[in-house]
Structure 1
Amino acid sequence: MIPVQQLSLFVLAAFLMVITPGPNMIYLVSRSVTQGKKAGLISLAGVACGFLFHIILVSFGLTAVLMAIPYAYTVLKTAGILYLLYLAWEAVKPGSKSVFETRQALQADGPFKLFGMGFFTNVLNPKVAVFYLSFFPQFIRPAYGDVLSQSLVLGFTQLMVSFSVNFIIVLLAARVTRWFAVHPKWIRLQKWLMAGVLSGLAVKMALAKGNKM
């Protein structure tokens, strides 16, 4: 079983991924603001199913790769560190947008299309695949048990974190978007705070001892 400390660090990484602006978040907030909470929740159900697709695909793939290629962990760890630093830069670079700065007006769609758009927005989101491929190996140890089981535990943990955060955001999207419009200075603070935490997590992972697969 994965230790609580390791799992807690993974939850933090999963949380940061959720609140970092990307296709999923932009779509959910835009849909909730322009078409209402019900449309946002249906879209969220599609996004959640997209996560399940990634979890199953990556879990079985990682199990094969980590057990077959000696240096796979080192490569994936490096990719994870670089990806965190990339997200930190994306948060503060000139012209970057906060999660709640979206102003995209969307045409009203039916439940089936809302679900499908949420699903494919997530399935085709490279950020999700990169997160799974580069982060999962850093929390997996043979000493903790079966590699596939650990990967699935991490996957469903990430799914619960993502669904919980996005559920709250969908319910509060319109209200929070209006609040940030009235208090724009807090958007800049939110960006730099996110960048600082992402950079700190990257440093922590860079200094962590290697995983002996």
Structure 2
Amino acid sequence: MALNLTPGADMLFCLGQGLRSGTKQAFAASAGISTGSIIHVCIAGLGLGALLAAFPWVFDVIRWVGVAYLLYLAATALRSSAQDADSVRLTTRQAFQQGLIVNLSNPKVILFVLAFVPQFVDPSAGSVFLQFLMFGGIIATGGFIINGLVGAFASGLGQRLAGSQKFQRGIGYVTATIFTALALRLAILEKN
């Protein structure tokens, strides 16, 4: 749970969804993020570490796709800050898809999975892949709950301030700034 309580791109994304679109969309975004985490765990369990060791450029491709997507989200947030609040609300499906893409395009998640989960895997205890899935499921479930609750809390605040055009514009600028900062951070990320 301590890992899931650490703020990061996933939590900030759910916070933004809660503020802008509401509780359902925040939990949908959190479900997309958790689905992405499970996909990362499956890939790691199937041997992505070996692929990254053999082809280091794969990490860079994933990283730059993530940078581009975060910049796209920042531009979208800026454009939406000029629109009325109802026109920028995402559907639950859109929130899920964006959460999934935000998570999958963050190579730090796969590096975390590759560094963290194997510490708990015991090859003598049975299938390594199933153990990866089990530990990944624990991480994804905790993340779903924490990120969803952060978004739900933000939704309550957003609903109280939703009528303010200044607030909506400000949220667009704050969201764009967060995504741009995350993109810059990801762009300078080194594969250690």
Structure 1 length as normaliser, TM-score? 0.56
How many Å separate the matches in 2 of 1:153 and 1:201?
27
Displacement, 1:163? 0.6
Larger RCO, structure (CA 8 Å, separation 6 or more):
2
Counterpart for residue 113 of structure 1: none
Within the candidate set 132, 137, 144, 2:119 is matched to 144
Query: Which of 168, 177, 180 is matched with 2:162 structurally?
Result: 177
Structure 2: gaps of 5 or more residues = 122-130
What is the number of equivalent residue pairs in this alignment? 175
Contact 1:85 / 1:202 at 8 angstroms: preserved in 2? no
Over aligned residues, Cα RMSD in angstroms? 4.3
Change (3 A) 1:166 1:66: same
Q: Provide the residue aligned with 1:199 in structure 2.
A: 183
Kindly provide the amino acid, as one letter, of the partner of residue 104 in structure 2: Y
Q: 2:125 — aligned with what? A: none
1:141-184 deviation line (CA, Å, top 9, x unaligned): 276343825544542343234212211133233223223x1356
Q: Aligned partners of 2:26, 2:78: CA distance in 1, in Å? A: 27
Cα distance in 2, alignment partners of residues 208 and 54 from structure 1: 20
> Identity across aligned pairs (percent)?
13
TM-score by length of 2: 0.60
Say if 2:104 is the partner of 1:132.
Answer: yes
> Per the alignment, do residues 47 and 151 of structure 1 end up closer, same or farther by CA in structure 2, a change over 3 Å counting?
same
Query: Structure 1 residues 156 and 81, CA, compared in 2 at 3 Å: closer, same or farther?
Result: farther
In structure 1, runs of 5+ residues without a counterpart are 33-39, 107-116
Structure-2 separation of matches of 1:68 and 1:175: 50
